[in-house]
Amino acid sequence: MRILKRKVYYYLQHSFRKEGKTITREKYLGKEIPKNIEEIKKSLLEECKKAGIYAVLGKIKKAFFAEWRRYPVSAKEKVKEQIAIAFTYNTNAIEGSTITLEETAELLEHKMAPNKPLRDIEETQSHAKVFLEMIEHPEIISIPIILKWHKAVFERTKSDIAGRFRDYLVRVGDHVAPDWQDVKRLMNELIKFYSLNKARMHPVELAARIHYRFEKIHPFGDGNGRVGRLIMNSLLWQQNWPMLIIEFKKRKFYYRALQKGEDAFFNYFVRYYLRAHRGLLKRTK
């Protein structure tokens, strides 16, 4: 509360520690305490929480680039290949591929195909190729790019649906995806959301929210998870942030988070991101 020229003005303040300093955030309430004061408190606390999280994320980005710059060009290429192997294995395994991590490495590095279904082999090769092209030649996310990636991953195994939005109803567990007649409109809205927020929303938050919305739309008959995770990592990489691999062994937590609301998924995503990259912070100490 502040008094100015005998008039009372109300403010809401919250202080927190950040890098050894006390930071105070303030929100003006007006000449009277509003009835929704509890909602305003919750909002202010959430803003302060995000500020603290984003500070840590900023350290991760700084540490990542300090480490990345030390690699010679040849070593960077090897690192990208290793990321492609890990990402391709995990993202395909989540969707039911029978190829192991070791088999993925043998297939992609030495062209040695395992005794596994041909579909799994071809989708592994196609996915890795799309992933490496995505990080070598970043492209602004758009509907044509999303369709191109889907077609490239599945044209040899699912030619009837590759590169095309679905024209039928699908169910994912207990979730019934939007009517197929709404898919194009919803995807246009998703791209608009991305365009409006890419310059003002934190890249990690934007990647999480785009991924959640894409998976809820479920625009393809199959392959939504793999394409959705490609989009997610493309958004991170384009903004010079380390990428995130959703591990197969932790898929239950990922599925559970997707079943909740968007804010809950963002909270899951940022916690996962912090845990996945905490090693970067340790190596800078």
Name the packing angle between helices 101-110 and 118-136 (round to 10°): 70
Spatial distance between the Cα atoms of 187 and 120, rounded to a whole number of angstroms: 28
Question: Which letter does DSSP use for residue 178 in this model?
Answer: P
Lookup: tokens for 173 = 């567990």
Beta carbons of 240 and 63 less than 8 angstroms apart? no
218 tagged catalytic: yes
By the 8 A CB rule, do 94 and 224 touch?
no
150, 211, 218, 277: the active-site residue: 218
Rounded to whole angstroms, how far apart are CA atoms 187 and 144?
A: 11
* The token pair that represents 81 in the structure block: 């290949």
List all residues 6 or more positions away from 162 whose beta carbon is below 8 Å from its beta carbon: 150, 151, 153, 154, 155
Query: Phi then psi for 22, rounded to 5 degrees?
Result: -90, 120
- Catalytic residue positions, numbered: 218
